Amino acid sequence: MSTVTYTGILLALVATTAYNVGLILEKRALGQMPALNLRRVLRVIGSLMTSRAWLGGFALMLTGLACQTIALTFEPVSVVQPVLASGVVLVLVLSRLVLRERLHGGETWCVAAIAVAVVLLAMSATGAKDSHHASPGWVAAIMIPSAVVGLVFAVGALRARRRGTAVAGVWAGVGTGLLYGVAALAIKALSGILVRHETVANIVIALITSPYLYVLGGSLAVAMLLFQAALQAGRASIVVPVSNVTGSVYFIIAGTWLFHEHLPASPGRLGLRLAGIALAVLVLVVLGRQAPEPVPAIAATEPVMASAEALAGQQLAEVRR
């Protein structure tokens, strides 16, 4: 194994560690904030930007993304992606040790299967030259319904909290994963601009006039806000892996078709890709049929505490009389 490969693996380990530790720190900081009300977006952004603990986790997550980008620049996906997939194990360990979360029933096996699915998808990479051109009409026909479905899933899951019922972390993860997948498609489409233009001025003009730039910014902004709300309301050990695998599978399926990329010619690699996709879909179906998460105890006890304080106030007033 070459020195470059060792360096790439080490950088991928740093990337997945920083990214997932950052998510855990964000989750812990979100637990100390009032419930995020996405109807008041400016207040939500203000709460996040004024929380040093959340900003620390966010900065660490961005560091992980930067290291991941560098690693993928010098190493093939088949080398980097399995290492990044190991971050699922780190999320499980840290969610148990730091957040005191526990997986119930068959959730442990399901989350482990998610990591296996991501590894299978990474091993199916062929290293062939990517295509950067796609029909704008077909891209819009895929992006728009996907974004709508993602919004419906994520918002519907988060509304369960306002109704006082359990938060469906699986569906919140699926919804945010679809939105992140739409953002990945926009990035792929924008990469064609870098290929077709040579001068910096032409690249800047093409980027500004491209609708994909605004699709990327809008989908990332909405996905991040919904993901933070889902992370606050649900369990990190469920929301994070489900969101990651949904975004990866969606991007592989939609991107391969839209950008006219060839399926792996090798029967072995094709089998790995199909197995990874099938396993990921199966896991999401199984997780979606699991028993719902219990309503957080703090949410259930707040009305009781309020009633107790009111009763104590009345008794104190009677004593003073």
pLDDT digits (tens, 9 = 90+) for 206-222: 878 888 889 888 988 89
Highest mean pLDDT: which range of 61-75, 123-137, 237-251 = 237-251
Residue 35's nearest CA partner among 258, 251, 299 is 299
Would the pLDDT of 156 be above 50?
A: yes
pLDDT at residue 295, as a whole number: 43
> In this structure, what are the phi and psi dihedrals at residue 278, rounded to the nearest 5 degrees?
-65, -40
Query: What's the pTM?
Result: 0.73
Task: Quote the pLDDT of residue 181.
Answer: 87
- Structure confidence at residue 150 (pLDDT): 93
Residue in the block written with tokens 């792929």: 188
CA distances from 290 to 56, 103, 108 (A): 33, 11, 12
| 317 contact partners, CB below 8 Å, separation of at least 6 | none
**Contact indicator for 80, 8 with CB cutoff of 8 Å:** yes
The pLDDT of residue 296 is 45
In this prediction, residue 170 has a pLDDT band, given cuts at 50, 70 and 90, of confident
In this prediction, residue 4 carries a pLDDT of 54
Please, what sign has the CA dihedral across residues 45, 245, 142, 195? positive
Contact 100, 249 (CB under 8 A): no
Q: Are 284 and 113 within 8 A, CB to CB?
A: no
What number is the average pLDDT over the span 148-155?
A: 91
Look up tokens 């994909």; give the residue: 212
